[in-house]
C-alpha cells in the first residue's frame, strides 16, 4: 500500500516532546546513553518505547518483543506507554505485525534505514481499504506508526507502535527518528543478549569447573583413603608421570623425569624384574588391563611391596577399530602390610600343621614307649641281672622317662586351650624351663628360679605357656655362657590382684633402632633366625588376659635385658579371655 508523505510531526505527546530538529537529535543522544546504561531487557524495552513516543510526539505506544527463556523457549513480551491496558483490546501479535511489515517492505522504495516501516496517517480516510489495526478500544486510534526492530542479521526481535488520536500526526522526520531509536534499541538488545549469553556460558563453565573440582576432590579423597598413587606412561617416550604419592612410594623426587625402563632396572628388585616386564608385555599384546605386584628397593637396603594396575590407552588407526596402545594410566599402592599378613597366615598354617604332626607323633610314640618302659622294668627286677647291666637299664629308664615327658609337653602345647582353667604357674614355669634345658646346656647357659610358693591364676594354659616360652627362648638366644634369672611374686596393680614374673638375661641388649618397634610384627634382632612374631603374639596374649608386658635393656656394660610380665589372677571377664 502506498505510504502518504506528510512532512513534519505533530507534538501531541504528554511526555514533554522536543521542538525542533536539534532538540530531537539531542533527545536521540540522550536515549542512546540511557539505553547503554540499562542492564535488563525489560528496562531496555521500556526505555526504547518511552524514547520512541517522545521523539515522534505520540500520545501512546506499545513495544512488542521476543525473548528467550533459560530453557530456550521463545516468549513474546509487551510494554505500554500512555495507555490504559485494561481497556485496550485486540492487540496484534508480533507475528501479525511482522507479516504486515513484510508486506510493506516488499513494495517499499525508501532508504534502507526506514524501509519496512508502516505509517497510517488517518484510519477514517482509509475506509474501504484493507488496513490492519494494531489494537482497538481506548485510547481512540486515528493515526499510527509501526517500526520494526531488527538485529544486524535482519532478524526481527521486536516492533514499535506509536499511535495518536488525531490524524496526520506522523511525518517523514518521525519515521527517521523512531527508526533511529529502533536501531539503537536493536544494538542494545543484541549486546544485552550477547552479554547474557556470555554470562550464561561463564556460569556454565564455572559450574563445570566447580563440578570438576568436586570430582577431583572426591577422587583425591578416595585415593587418599585407599593410599593410592596415580601414574601415566607414554609408550613412545617411555616416560612415566607420577603424582606425589606414587613418587614417594618409588622413592624418587616428584616431577623428575623417569622412564619405565629405568624404574624397572634400578628400583625393582632383580628377582621381580621379569614379572614386571612380562606383565607389561602381556597387557600390550592383549590390550587387557595391566596388573603386577613386585618389590621396590628403598634407601638403606630395605624394600617394600607395591601393587600396580593400569588400563591401556588406545589411538584409532587406519583400518583398526581399536587402534594401537600408545600408553597406560593406572594406580600404585603399598601392599607391604598385606604381604606381611599373607606371610603370617602361611606361617601360621605351617605352624598349625607342624603342631598337628608333632601331636600325632607324640601320641603314636606313647604306646611303644610304655611297652619299652615295662620291658625295662621287668629286666630291672630280674635278680640274676649283673650290676653293670642294672646300671645301664637305670640310664635307659631315665632317658625313656625324658622322652615320655617331652611327648606329654608336646601334646600339652597342641591340646585345645579354648577353655579357661586354673593354672599352677610354678609348675608351668618349671616345665617350660625343663623343656629348654638341653638348649641352654648347648650354649653354656644356666637358669635360676625364685618363685613364691602357690602362684596360680585363671586363664588359658596353652597361651600362658606360650608367653613364657617365647620370652625364655629370646633370653636363651641372647645369652652365651651366662645365667638367666626368673622370679615370680604376687603383686597388686591398681587394685588388681595379679602375679609379676621377671625374666632377665645378660645378653648384648636390644639395639636402640628396634626398641620402639619391638612389639611390631616382623621386627626381629635375630636376622634370618627369627620371624619377628614372638613378642607381638606375647603382648597380644598378655593384654587379652588384662595384663601388661614391659622391658628394660642395656647395650653398654653391664649388658642385658629384663622383661616384666604382670598377669591378673583372673582376667577382666571370661568372655574377654576366651574371645
For residue range 103-130, list pLDDT tens digits in order: 555 455 555 555 678 888 888 776 545 5
The verdict on 146 and 105 lying in the same domain is yes
Task: Write down the pLDDT at residue 406.
Answer: 66
Task: Write down the pLDDT at residue 530.
Answer: 58
Q: Is residue 529 part of a domain?
A: yes
pLDDT of 179 higher than 50: yes
The verdict on 488 and 359 lying in the same domain is no
The verdict on 292 and 361 lying in the same domain is no
Out of 415, 432, 462, a domain closes at 415
pLDDT of 345 higher than 70: yes
Grid coordinates of 87: 481497556
Structurally, the chain folds into a number of domains equal to 4
Q: Is residue 186 a contact partner of residue 151, using CB atoms and an 8 Å limit?
A: yes
Grid coordinates of 136: 482497538
CATH number of the CATH domain containing 343: 1.10.287
CA 522 to each of CA 293, 339, 493, 539: distance values in angstroms, whole numbers, following the listed order = 20, 11, 31, 14
The verdict on 287 and 182 lying in the same domain is no
Task: Give the pLDDT band (50/70/90) at residue 50.
Answer: very high
Out of 399, 415, 431, a domain closes at 415
CA–CA gap between residue 544 and residue 524 (Å, rounded): 23
Q: What is the pLDDT of residues 219-266, one digit of tens each?
A: 778 777 777 889 999 999 999 999 988 888 888 888 888 899 998 888
The verdict on 266 and 374 lying in the same domain is no
The verdict on 410 and 434 lying in the same domain is no
Task: Write down the pLDDT at residue 2.
Answer: 34
CATH number of the CATH domain containing 240: 3.30.450.20
| Residues sharing a CB contact under 8 Å with residue 139, sequence separation 6 or more, in sequence order | 59, 60, 82, 83, 84, 88, 163, 165
Q: Is residue 210 part of a domain?
A: no
Q: What is the pLDDT of residues 465-498, one digit of tens each?
A: 889 988 999 999 989 899 999 999 999 988 899 9
The verdict on 329 and 340 lying in the same domain is no
Dihedral, 343, 346, 352, 354 alpha carbons, nearest 10: -100
174: nearest Cα among 53, 293, 49: 53
Rg (CA), the chain: 51
The verdict on 156 and 72 lying in the same domain is yes
The verdict on 377 and 302 lying in the same domain is no
Q: Is residue 352 part of a domain?
A: yes
CATH number of the CATH domain containing 178: 3.30.450.40
pLDDT of 146 higher than 80: yes
Out of 415, 443, 469, a domain closes at 415
DSSP 313: E
DSSP 426: H
Buried b vs exposed e over 413-444: b needs ≥16 C-beta within 10 Å? bbeebeeeeebebbebbebbbebbeeebeeee
Mean pLDDT of all residues in 413-442: 82
More confident: 315 or 40: 40
Q: Is residue 5 part of a domain?
A: no
DSSP 300: G
CA–CA gap between residue 476 and residue 410 (Å, rounded): 20
The verdict on 455 and 377 lying in the same domain is no
Dihedral, 219, 224, 229, 230 alpha carbons, nearest 10: 10
Please count the other Cβ atoms lying within 10 Å of the Cβ belonging to residue 261: 11
- For the ranges 15-24, 511-520, 529-538, 570-579, the maximum mean pLDDT occurs at 511-520
| Four-residue CA torsion sign, 124, 182, 93, 84 | negative
pLDDT of 1 higher than 60: no
Task: Write down the pLDDT at residue 140.
Answer: 75
Q: Is residue 545 part of a domain?
A: yes
CA–CA gap between residue 499 and residue 451 (Å, rounded): 10
CA–CA gap between residue 570 and residue 499 (Å, rounded): 10
CA–CA gap between residue 226 and residue 87 (Å, rounded): 72
Q: What is the pLDDT of residues 262-313, one digit of tens each?
A: 988 888 999 999 989 999 999 988 889 999 999 998 877 788 899 999 999 9
Axis crossing angle, helix 461-478 with helix 425-435, rounded to the nearest 10: 40
Q: Is residue 472 part of a domain?
A: yes
Please count the other Cβ atoms lying within 10 Å of the Cβ belonging to residue 236: 7
CATH number of the CATH domain containing 560: 3.30.565.10
pLDDT of 218 higher than 90: no
CA–CA gap between residue 349 and residue 353 (Å, rounded): 6
Task: Write down the pLDDT at residue 576.
Answer: 47
Domain that holds residue 352: 335-415
DSSP 517: T
Place of cell 622322652: 403
The verdict on 163 and 117 lying in the same domain is yes
DSSP 268: B
Q: Is residue 180 part of a domain?
A: yes
The verdict on 52 and 129 lying in the same domain is yes
Task: Write down the pLDDT at residue 126.
Answer: 62
Q: Is residue 553 part of a domain?
A: yes
CA–CA gap between residue 417 and residue 296 (Å, rounded): 41
Give residue 5's Cα distance to chain centre.
77
Mean predicted lDDT score pLDDT of the chain: 81
Buried b vs exposed e over 182-205: b needs ≥16 C-beta within 10 Å? bbbbbebbbebeeeeeeeeeeeee
322: nearest Cα among 288, 281, 280: 288
Amino acid at each position: 500500500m502506498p505510504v502518504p508523505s506528510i512532512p513534519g510531526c505533530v507534538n501531541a505527546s504528554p511526555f514533554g516532546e522536543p521542538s525542533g530538529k536539534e532538540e530531537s537529535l539531542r533527545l536521540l543522544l540522550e536515549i542512546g546513553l540511557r539505553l547503554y546504561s540499562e542492564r535488563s531487557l525489560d528496562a531496555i524495552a521500556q526505555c526504547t518505547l518511552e524514547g520512541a513516543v517522545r521523539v515522534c510526539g505520540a500520545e501512546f505506544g506499545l513495544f512488542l518483543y521476543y525473548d528467550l527463556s533459560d530453557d530456550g523457549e521463545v516468549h513474546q513480551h509487551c510494554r505500554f506507554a500512555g495507555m490504559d491496558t485494561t481497556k485496550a483490546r485486540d492487540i496484534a501479535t508480533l507475528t501479525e505485525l511482522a507479516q504486515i511489515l513484510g508486506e510493506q517492505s516488499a513494495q517499499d522504495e525508501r532508504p534502507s534505514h526506514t524501509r519496512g516501516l508502516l505509517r497510517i496517517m488517518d484510519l477514517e480516510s482509509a475506509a474501504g481499504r484493507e488496513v490492519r489495526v494494531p489494537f482497538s478500544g481506548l485510547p481512540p486510534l486515528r493515526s499510527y506508526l509501526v517500526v520494526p526492530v531488527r538485529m544486524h542479521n535482519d532478524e526481527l526481535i521486536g516492533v514499535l507502535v506509536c499511535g495518536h488520536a488525531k490524524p496526520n500526526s506522523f511525518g517523514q522526520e518521525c519515521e527517521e527518528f523512531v527508526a533511529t531509536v529502533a536501531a539503537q534499541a536493536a544494538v542494545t538488545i543484541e549486546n544485552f543478549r550477547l552479554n547474557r549469553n556470555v554470562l550464561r556460558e561463564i556460569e556454565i563453565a564455572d559450574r563445570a569447573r566447580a563440578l570438576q573440582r568436586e570430582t577431583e576432590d572426591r577422587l583425591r579423597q578416595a585415593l587418599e583413603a585407599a593410599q593410592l598413587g596415580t601414574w601415566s606412561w607414554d609408550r613412545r617416550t617411555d616416560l612415566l608421570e607420577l603424582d606425589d604419592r606414587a613418587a614417594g612410594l618409588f622413592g624418587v623426587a616428584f616431577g623428575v623425569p623417569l622412564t619405565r625402563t629405568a624404574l624397572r632396572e634400578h628400583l625393582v628388585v632383580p628377582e621381580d624384574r621379569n614379572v614386571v616386564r612380562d606383565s607389561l608385555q602381556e597387557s600390550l599384546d592383549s590390550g587387557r588391563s595391566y596388573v603386577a605386584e613386585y618389590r621396590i628397593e628403598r634407601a638403606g637396603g630395605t624394600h617394600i611391596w607395591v601393587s600396580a594396575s593400569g588400563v591401556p590407552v588406545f589411538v584409532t588407526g587406519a583400518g583398526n577399530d581399536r587402534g594401537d596402545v600408545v600408553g597406560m594410566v593406572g594406580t600404585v599402592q603399598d601392599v607391604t602390610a598385606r604381604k606381611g599378613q599373607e606371610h603370617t597366615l602361611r606361617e601360621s598354617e605351617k605352624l598349625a600343621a607342624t603342631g598337628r604332626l608333632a601331636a600325632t607323633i607324640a601320641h603314636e610314640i606313647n604306646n611303644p614307649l610304655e611297652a619299652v618302659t615295662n620291658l625295662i622294668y621287668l629286666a630291672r627286677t630280674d635278680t640274676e641281672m649283673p650290676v653293670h647291666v642294672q646300671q645301664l637299664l637305670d640310664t635307659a629308664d631315665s632317658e625313656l622317662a625324658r622322652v615320655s615327658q617331652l611327648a606329654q609337653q608336646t601334646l600339652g602345647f597342641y591340646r585345645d586351650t579354648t577353655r579357661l582353667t586354673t593354672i599352677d604357674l610354678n609348675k608351668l614355669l618349671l616345665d617350660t624351663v625343663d623343656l629348654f634345658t638341653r638348649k641352654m646346656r648347648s650354649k653354656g647357659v644356666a637358669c635360676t628360679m625364685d618363685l613364691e610358693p602357690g602362684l596360680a591364676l585363671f586363664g588359658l594354659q596353652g597361651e600362658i605357656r606360650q608367653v613364657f616360652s617365647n620370652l625364655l627362648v629370646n633370653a636363651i638366644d641372647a645369652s652365651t655362657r651366662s645365667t638367666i634369672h626368673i622370679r615370680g611374686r604376687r603383686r597388686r596393680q591398681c587394685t588388681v590382684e595379679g602375679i609379676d614374673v621377671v625374666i632377665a638375661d645378660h645378653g648384648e641388649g636390644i639395639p636402640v633402632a628396634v626398641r620402639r618397634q619391638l612389639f611390631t610384627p616382623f621386627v626381629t634382632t635375630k636376622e634370618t633366625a627369627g620371624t619377628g612374631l614372638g613378642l607381638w603374639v606375647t603382648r597380644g596374649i598378655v593384654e587379652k588376659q588384662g595384663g601388661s608386658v614391659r622391658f628394660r635393656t642395656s647395650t653398654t656394660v653391664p649388658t642385658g635385658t629384663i622383661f616384666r610380665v604382670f598377669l591378673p589372677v583372673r582376667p577382666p571377664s571370661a568372655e574377654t579371655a576366651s574371645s
